[in-house]
Amino acid sequence: MIRRALNRNFTVIPAQQNDRWKSTRVLVAHRPRRDTPRVVRLGAMKPNKLTMDVTVNHCVRTLLIGLALTGCGGGGETVTGTNTFTFSTISAGNAVSCGVTIGGSGYCWGNNTAGELGNGTTTSSAKAVASSSGLLSFGAVSVGNSLDRVDQHSCGLTTGGRVYCWGYNNFGEIGDGTKNNSLVPVQASVAVTVSAVRVGGAHTCGMTTDGVYCWGDNTYGELGIGSHNPSLTPVPINGGLSFILIQAGNNFSCAITAGAAAYCWGLNSSGQLGNGLTSDSNTPGPVTGNIAFVSISTGGAHTCGIAPSGTAYCWGNDGSGQLGDGKTAMSLIPTAVSTALKFTALSAGSYHTCALTSTGAAYCWGKNQTGQLGNGTLADSGTPVPVSGGLTFAVVSAGSDHTCGVTPAGVAYCWGLNSSGQLGDGTHNNSSVPVPVSQ
């Protein structure tokens, strides 16, 4: 209905860039049935607000792009609506970010050399663009964070429990049985229902009704199948363990059992498996310390988890202070983050970590060379520092050199490195404070 109404009554003329709002202004000309064309009034679309006011023959309309539009009759009534560009979740990777709206639409922004944006092109974008998902409705998304290359892959989980992946696929990490990159989402060959999907550097893992399945690169045993053979399609991990939560990092993976025990496998050169060793493992092994965990997050070469008390623990590489213990020395076992704060959510990036308190306050620690800690400085921090701006977040995701979050109102913000447009604000300028994602 919107398409017929819009085509019949309006003509969209080439957009103009509005530098002030870092968004788009659209000129719309009216084509009445009997009258001569009339000039319309332009309106600026501010970040996350896809609206413009249009005056036609004394009738003021508010057009909402992508939403239902009712007619404006001879009486000149005003029609309004609500904006659907509202995120429910977000994931930051290496030079790319993706999010899912409350309506289930997938959007990505940043580097697109291997099809990371999933929109059918290889053109990078500094603004959020819709993935070519057709009628797919996503409930979650996960973006790759490889330390070895800029090309990444991403995966989305549909509300029906199916996994679709796109982007770089040199190791079979998309899971469709090929090594061909895909510019659009393609279904991974998982025969059972999936409840969670996590993307690592060059591998992917999913939580299914049949247990954990992983696929892609297996150089360091990150698939957890007892060998180092890669797999182009999902394969069940070894060990006979039952997990309720899965995470995939850069060449390693971790999971939590129903009994709150943490297990990790794969690359362990920095102690990221948390077992007191630096030798790799191709099967799941317990994290040392008998600490119960309610959540876990895997980064570049470090891992962090939250205990039931809200205390955060990290282990592995600490060269930039990403363990949050006030030091820069590698730890082979979990060490408590040096803070009295209690956390409810946590995300480990390549060299930094971010977490949320119960009030939604965001704190980050570790490397800050490009402003990824979001505290308005470029100084590394070995302990948690608050993200600037007074914002509260429902979701936070630490990527390679940038971070993204979603507020309780569904507004997406990113901060840090922006060389590929991964902050999504329409520029390529780094930001040491949160900036809103635009479309």
Least confident range from 70-79, 168-177, 317-326, 374-383: namely 70-79
C-alpha pair distances (Å), 362 with each of 161, 323, 347, 350, 399 = 30, 16, 11, 18, 15
- pLDDT at 73 > cutoff 50: no
Residue whose tokens read 């996350």: 48
Gyration radius from the chain CA atoms: 23
Token pair belonging to 143: 């973006």
Residue 150 has what pLDDT?
76
Percent of the chain surpassing pLDDT 70: 80
Residue 54 has what pLDDT?
27
Residue 85 has what pLDDT?
74
C-alpha pair distances (Å), 12 with each of 7, 169, 252 = 9, 38, 49
The percent helix, strand, coil of the chain (3-state, each to 5) is 0, 40, 55
H or E segment to which residue 238 belongs: none
Tell me the DSSP string of 60-120: EEEEETTS------TT-----------EEEEEE-SSEEEEEETTS-EEEEE--TTSTT-SS
Distance CA 186, CA 13 (A): 34
Least confident range from 131-140, 315-324, 383-392: namely 131-140
Helix boundaries (H) for 10-58 = none
- pLDDT at 254 > cutoff 60: yes
Residue 168 has what pLDDT?
96
Residue 123 has what pLDDT?
97
For residues 94 and 400, the answer to whether their CB atoms sit within 8 Å is: yes
Domains along the chain with CATH numbers: 2-64 (no CATH), 88-436 (2.130.10.30)
Average pLDDT value over all residues in the chain: 83
For residues 124 and 112, the answer to whether their CB atoms sit within 8 Å is: yes
Least confident range from 138-147, 177-186, 377-386: namely 138-147
Distance CA 147, CA 203 (A): 13
